[in-house]
Amino acid sequence: MIHAGLDEILESGILTMGKYTHRFEEMFAQFASTHYAISCSSGTAAIELILRGLRIEGKSVIVPTNTFLATAYAVMNSGNRVIFADSEPKTLALDVEDVRRRLTHDTAAVILVHIGGVITPALYELRRLCEERNLFLIEDCAHAQGCSIDGQQAGSLCVAGAFSFYPTKVLTTGEGGMVTTNDKALAQRIRMVRNHGKNPDLGNRMSEYGSNYRISEVTALLGVHRMRRAAEIIEERQRVATFYDKHLQDIVGLRPLEMPTNVRSTYYKYIAYLDERIDRARVKGILKQRFGVSLTGEVYAELCHTEPLWQRFTYCGRQRTNGQVACHRWPTCGCDQIQNGFSGAEYISRHHVCLPVYPGLSEAELEYVVISLRQVLAEVRGG
């Protein structure tokens, strides 16, 4: 299918915004149970496009400090200021009360990140808070392709959702992203911003401030192929997670993250907490060196607010010069104020591990991972 599609694309001469791009978007909208899906160059671009499409500029946007820094970059790149918030260790997601504490007079939106493929049941409380304060609630679904809560798909839960197709994701096209929404006007604006601001109703004259966030037809072709295999890929990851759920319960020093009963996850990561006295680096080192078992990267070991970036840049993306900030983007920006007080996120970053979870892992391999982990934890706890 891929080889035939490549031949078709090359023979057509349409290398972007063609048949496969439209088909990929249609398939993903159906997958996410939304009216619209707009492809773009990355998950980071997807978040930025949502913010631009909502016409949020010169405002503050709340983002969890326990996320990949790209979530914050999208806020800064769209002309806004990042306010970091704490996370709940039980769900890895935003702590609603901490979000409430950090709201300011200029807060326009909150970005909820479904870390590791977990959708927090606090979604509903967070949604009520945003409705009360007239804020936009945006989903970062980079980890949540195919996840749902109470039967509702990730990407359909808020004003818009942003997805990534980076190589590590459950469904990948190498690079690429997608915006999902049920808002027709928002979808139209995002399509224009994605394509240099061209307005089809004005003969492609530029009526929005845009740039090139498009994907190629080759990327879209890979997306169509992935969508056709999505159910199979998701089923395989859930099989692996079910095995771990069954066989990890009696390992002393390890506590698998409990998935909320109303959440269906596709397990971008299988997450477990180590006993607080256990040295994670030592566990990972012994597993790899003695047993050949590599644990995947954490989500996340380093929190956004701790990155060295902030020594040179402010929370709205302005450079610091000799320690001083000259920000004229908007009055009372507050972009130079140090942000701290993230005890929940700090606990998450220090104490969790992520076990191997990908399609094709055999039962024998999974048993080997569990046995190896059991032996290493017994050794580390005893020594």
- For the stretch 187-246, pLDDT in tens is 999 999 999 999 999 999 999 999 999 999 999 999 999 999 999 999 999 999 999 999
| 221 and 245, same domain (yes or no) | no
Whether residue 120 lies inside any domain: the answer is: yes
| 206 and 249, same domain (yes or no) | no
Rounded average pLDDT over 116-127: 98
Rounded average pLDDT over 107-116: 98
- For the stretch 285-312, pLDDT in tens is 999 999 999 999 999 999 999 999 988 8
Of 182, 203, 230, the residue at which a domain comes to its end is 230
- For the stretch 242-251, pLDDT in tens is 999 999 999 9
Cβ contact 195:145 at 8 Å: no
How many domains is the chain built from? Answer: 2
| 217 and 189, same domain (yes or no) | yes
CA-derived radius of gyration, the chain: 22
pLDDT of residue 231: 97
Which domain does 242 fall in, by range?
231-301+343-382
Whether residue 44 lies inside any domain: the answer is: yes
Whether residue 25 lies inside any domain: the answer is: yes
pLDDT of residue 325: 65
| 297 and 173, same domain (yes or no) | no
Average pLDDT of the residues of the chain: 94
Q: In this structure, are strands 352-355 and 270-274 parallel, antiparallel, or unpaired?
A: antiparallel
| 152 and 26, same domain (yes or no) | yes
| 222 and 193, same domain (yes or no) | yes
Whether residue 321 lies inside any domain: the answer is: no
Whether residue 328 lies inside any domain: the answer is: no
Alpha helices per DSSP H over the chain: 2-12, 19-32, 43-53, 70-77, 96-102, 123-132, 184-194, 217-228, 230-247, 280-291, 343-351, 363-382
Whether residue 193 lies inside any domain: the answer is: yes
Between 16-20, 161-165, 179-183, 323-327, the lowest mean confidence (pLDDT) is in 323-327
| 224 and 237, same domain (yes or no) | no
pLDDT band at 1 (very low <50, low <70, confident <90, very high): confident
Of 212, 230, 248, the residue at which a domain comes to its end is 230
Which one is predicted more confidently, 333 or 84?
84
Which bin fits 134, alpha (ψ -120 to 50), beta or left (φ > 0)? left
Which one is predicted more confidently, 304 or 330?
304
| 235 and 224, same domain (yes or no) | no
Whether residue 316 lies inside any domain: the answer is: no
pLDDT band at 120 (very low <50, low <70, confident <90, very high): very high
pLDDT of residue 327: 64
| 173 and 261, same domain (yes or no) | no
CATH number of the structural domain spanning residue 259 = 3.90.1150.10
Structure tokens at 233: 């890929």
CATH number of the structural domain spanning residue 102 = 3.40.640.10
| 96 and 225, same domain (yes or no) | yes
- Residues 257 and 244: their CA atoms lie apart, in Å, by 11
| 126 and 202, same domain (yes or no) | yes
pLDDT of residue 310: 87
Whether residue 142 lies inside any domain: the answer is: yes
Of 230, 246, 279, the residue at which a domain comes to its end is 230
| 115 and 177, same domain (yes or no) | yes
